[in-house]
Amino acid sequence: MGILDFLFGNKSKKIQDFKSRDAIIVDVRSKGEYDGGAIPGSKNIPLQSISSNISQIKKWDKPVIVCCASGMRSASAAGILKNNGIEVMNGGGWFSLSKKL
C-alpha cells in the first residue's frame, strides 16, 4: 500500500465498487461546462442545484459519484449529499474520473 493510498484510500477500488453497484455519475459543473465535454451517461446537476434535487437523487436508490472540473465543487456536492443520507463519493475532475471508469 502506497503512502497516498494510506492517506486517502484507494480511489480506483472505491470507484470500481460503486460502479459494480450501478452508481450514478453526477457532474456538478455548469450546463455550459458540461455541454463542452462530459462522461457519457452522466447526469448534469450544477452544484447550486444539488440541494433542491435531493429527493430526486434519493429516488434513484443507487450510490452516487460526483465530479466537476477539478474536484472542488464535487467535494462540496459530496458533503451535501452525504449529510442527506446518500451514499456518495467525490470522483474529482470529470476527465480524470472518465479514465478510471
Domain annotation covers residue 91? yes
Q: Is the dihedral of CA 24, 30, 94, 88 positive or negative?
A: negative
Question: 3-class SS at 65?
Answer: strand
Residue 7 has pLDDT above 80, yes or no: no
Question: What is the C-alpha separation between 74 and 91, in angstroms, rounded?
Answer: 7
Query: What tens digit of pLDDT does each residue of 14-47 get?
Result: 999 999 999 999 999 999 999 999 999 999 999 9
Contact 80, 74 (CB under 8 A): no
Domain that holds residue 39: 10-100
Strand partners, 92: 67
Identify whether the C-beta of residue 88 lies closer than 8 Å to the C-beta of residue 66: yes
CATH code of 63's domain:
3.40.250.10
**Is 5 part of any domain?**
no
The 10s digit of each residue's pLDDT in 72-101 is: 999 999 999 999 999 999 999 999 999 988
- Structural domain contains residue 4: no
Residue 72 within a domain:
yes
Write the CB contacts of 23 (distance below 8 Å, at least 6 apart in sequence). 62, 63, 64, 65
Residue 1, pLDDT > 50, answer no
Nearest to 44 by CA among 11, 70, 74, 22: 74
Strands annotated E in 12-54? 24-27, 43-44
How many domains does the structure of the chain reveal?
1
